[in-house]
């Protein structure tokens, strides 16, 4: 096969469309994000995660009956098989929860084989299992690594409240539930980001949905993608005080250090999700008191607007999400797994869309290595 490419190489595939999709839309200059045409701010205010997941999967808002049936199915499938719990128990407690989530989701594919990926029944059952069980996996790993028993899910609680309950063994207050639910809505889908592309590449091989989602989880883990929300908190505690923001930023810019939670390939203004998350943070802080990390973050955003704003670098979704989760008492290394239990709705919507009109992804490379190199026997090599 020829190594000559007909198109120019675009590092990071910048500006290269890799799919036609009707799931979400971004206008990066106008801070606009829509799921199936509906503004994400409206969904965060009016909808719930279950309804948003249906919207993403089915392409339209559910009727009352459709939502009630979907909600019922999700609640019904939350429990984990004992063997899956045993597997989670065997994982090192010092390991990152994203690793545990990826391993458990991959293992789900062995408990629930789903090879006939074109079958609508298989598709729907797999989607339900993944959305309903991923929160249970994350909460179980978190409890078990601290030597506590995993808390079984409660089917009288909605998706957000049940996840919180399985983590802390207490129900969230109505305001905490609303914030948790809104966070799940805001992270559920975001066009062709790295993990979604990863899910579509795996889907295009007709791999099972558990393989599709586990590959996306691995991609989400990196600090340039979903893992940035953890690093934001580290960065804010390194800055340490509001007074230190400007000197710290000057040094960071001078040494070309990346500011975590800032910048985006598509948004050249403040990410609309960051705007909603900031409001949610302030809502939480009206009950809990404003932490120092938030005051540092606001000053950093202000200072960075002068230095990075002209380059189109503004806060992204990860900048305020970690601060919100921290205020809810959620440990730092669960921030990215929470992203995953939300984003699974988007990954699955892309899986289904990919299967509708599938062609295996097989891009090209530009070969820059040597050719026709003679083989030198080992004894003659220097
Ligand atoms: N801080 C400082 N400078 C930045 C930042 C940042 N956070 N982001 C981009 N830049 C600068 C780069 O240094 C580069 O400058 P140069 O042209 O002078 O060399 C320019 O902006 C372009 O940056 P790239 O990294 O090439 O932009 P790209 O589109 O490839 O990367 C990314 C986007 C990965 C999000 C980047 O902005 C980044 O690393 N941000 C920090 C990590 C982060 O917050 N990730 C979460 C993203 S949201 C999500 O995935 C859920």
Among candidates 87, 97, 42, 85, which has minimal Cα distance to 340?
A: 97
> 241 pLDDT exceeds 90?
yes
Per-residue pLDDT reduced to its tens digit, 112-146: 999 999 999 999 999 999 999 999 999 999 999 99
Determine the pLDDT at residue 85.
97
> 1 pLDDT exceeds 50?
no
Total residues found in the chain within this entry: 382
pLDDT confidence bin for 2, thresholds 50/70/90: very low
| CB 134, CB 159: distance < 8 Å | no
Per-residue pLDDT reduced to its tens digit, 280-318: 989 889 888 999 999 999 999 999 999 999 999 999 999
The whole-angstrom separation of Cα 291 and Cα 194 is: 32
Here the tokens at position 107 are 């293992």
The reply to whether 228-327 shares the fold of 19-223+336-356 is no
Q: How far is the CA of 262 from the centre of ligand 1 (A)?
A: 7
> Does domain 228-327 correspond to CATH entry 1.10.230.10?
yes
Q: How far is the CA of 97 from the centre of ligand 1 (A)?
A: 25
Q: Tell me the average pLDDT across 58-63.
A: 98
The percent of residues above 90 in pLDDT, for the chain, comes to: 93
| CB 297, CB 270: distance < 8 Å | no
Is the shortest distance between the CB of 10 and ligand 1 below 6 Å? Answer: no
- Mean pLDDT of the chain, nearest integer: 95
In this structure, is the dihedral angle defined by the CA atoms of residues 367, 369, 372 and 378, taken in order, positive or negative?
negative
Per-residue pLDDT reduced to its tens digit, 317-332: 999 998 999 999 999 9
Per-residue pLDDT reduced to its tens digit, 181-218: 999 999 999 999 999 999 999 999 999 999 999 999 99
Q: How far is the CA of 258 from the centre of ligand 1 (A)?
A: 7
**Pocket-testing residue among 231, 250, 258, ligand 1, by greatest number of atoms within 8 A of Cβ:** 258
The CATH homologous superfamily of the domain defined by 19-223+336-356: Citrate Synthase, domain 1 (1.10.580.10)
Of 1-10, 106-115, 154-163, 263-272, give the lowest mean pLDDT range. 1-10
Domain boundaries, the chain: 19-223+336-356, 228-327
pLDDT confidence bin for 12, thresholds 50/70/90: very high
Tokens 């005080």 map to which residue?
241
| CB 340, CB 139: distance < 8 Å | no
In this structure, is the dihedral angle defined by the CA atoms of residues 206, 24, 18 and 20, taken in order, positive or negative?
positive
Q: Is the pTM of this model over 0.85?
A: yes
Per-residue pLDDT reduced to its tens digit, 341-356: 999 999 999 999 999 9
> 165 pLDDT exceeds 50?
yes
Is the shortest distance between the CB of 228 and ligand 1 below 6 Å? Answer: yes
Determine the pLDDT at residue 293.
94
Determine the pLDDT at residue 5.
65
């Amino acid at each position: 096969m020829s190594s000559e490419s007909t198109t120019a190489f675009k590092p990071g595939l910048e500006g290269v469309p890799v799919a036609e999709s009707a799931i979400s839309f971004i206008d990066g200059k106008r801070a606009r994000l829509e799921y199936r045409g509906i503004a994400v701010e409206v969904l965060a205010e009016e909808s719930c995660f279950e309804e948003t997941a249906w919207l993403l999967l089915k392409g339209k808002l559910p009727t009352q009956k459709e939502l009630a049936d979907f909600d019922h199915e999700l609640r019904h499938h939350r429990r984990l098989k004992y063997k899956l719990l045993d597997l989670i128990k065997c994982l090192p407690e010092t390991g990152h929860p994203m690793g545990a989530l990826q391993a458990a989701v991959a293992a789900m594919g062995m408990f629930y084989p789903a090879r006939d990926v074109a079958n609508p029944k298989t598709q729907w059952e797999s989607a339900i299992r993944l959305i309903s069980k991923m929160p249970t996996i994350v909460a179980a790993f978190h409890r078990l690594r601290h030597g506590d028993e995993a808390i079984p899910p409660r089917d009288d609680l909605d998706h957000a409240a049940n996840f919180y309950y399985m983590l802390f063994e207490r129900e969230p207050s109505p305001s905490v539930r609303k914030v948790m639910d809104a966070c799940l809505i805001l992270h559920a889908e975001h066009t062709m980001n790295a993990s979604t592309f990863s899910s579509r590449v795996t889907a295009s091989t007709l791999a099972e949905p558990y393989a599709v989602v586990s590959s996306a989880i691995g991609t989400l883990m990196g600090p340039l993608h979903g893992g940035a929300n953890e690093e934001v908190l580290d960065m804010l505690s390194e800055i340490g005080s509001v007074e230190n923001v400007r000197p710290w930023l000057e040094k960071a810019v001078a040494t070309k250090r990346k500011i975590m939670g800032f910048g985006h390939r598509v948004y050249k203004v403040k990410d609309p999700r960051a705007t909603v998350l900031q409001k949610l943070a302030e809502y939480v802080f009206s009950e809990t008191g404003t932490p120092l990390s938030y005051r540092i973050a606001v000053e950093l955003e202000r200072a960075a607007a002068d230095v990075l704003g002209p380059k189109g670098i503004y806060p992204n979704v990860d900048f305020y999400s970690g601060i919100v989760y921290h205020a809810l008492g959620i440990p730092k290394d669960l921030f990215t797994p929470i992203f995953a239990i939300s984003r699974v709705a988007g990954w699955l919507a892309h899986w289904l869309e990919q299967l509708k009109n599938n062609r295996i992804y097989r891009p090209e490379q530009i070969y820059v290595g040597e050719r026709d190199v003679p083989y030198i026997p080992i004894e003659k090599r220097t």
